[in-house]
Amino acid sequence: MIRLTYFTEADIEQLVAWNADTSAAFLMQWSGKEFTYPLTKAQIERYMQESNKANATKLIYKVIDEASNQVIGFCALNKIDYQHKSARISKILIGESSMRGKGFGRQIIQALLQIGFETLHLHRISLGVFDFNQAAISCYKNVGLKVEGVLRDTCLVDNEYWSLYEMSMLEQEYNTLIQVYN
């Protein structure tokens, strides 16, 4: 099991370290166009501005494995629109490589959906995932997100175009899932 707590300045060095020996493609895959390689403390500090406050349009979390109390990842709810009751899940990273493939991604998505629908009372939550990331697509579908479409050749990475699946869940779909599990 995991828990999400707000990401703070004290967590920045860990996030930078997780990306130190990776690549521009790795950074693009989990962060989209928000950051550029190599990831720096200054980029994260800029990203954190105006987040995790009352009525913030961005909530940034660290992911903690409850069994070990170890920080294992990072995630965010971005583009929170309180008027139209929508948000976007983004920046999902299991930074500790030994923790990948253990179902934490599914738990992160479920936790973010719970925050969005139950705490923020949103109507729609969306995300984007690159088309080659079949493990993530399968995870998101298993959680209940629906594919809305594909943005073809949306990013050029290492001389290769990447396409992006758009996926979402609506509050009534979430409520139906919650009733099934209870």
| pLDDT tens, position by position, 5-50 | 999 999 999 999 999 999 999 999 999 999 999 999 999 999 999 9
What is the C-alpha separation between 169 and 157, in angstroms, rounded? 28
Host domain of residue 155: 2-181
Over the stretch 96-152, which tens digit does the pLDDT of each residue have?
999 999 999 999 999 999 999 999 999 999 999 999 999 999 999 999 999 999 999
CATH number reported for the structural domain that contains residue 18 in this entry: 3.40.630.30
Q: What is the pTM of this model?
A: 0.97
The total number of structural domains in the chain stands at 1
Over the stretch 56-91, which tens digit does the pLDDT of each residue have?
999 999 999 999 999 999 999 999 999 999 999 999
Distances in whole angstroms, Cα of residue 26 to Cα of each of 7, 87, 156: 21, 24, 13
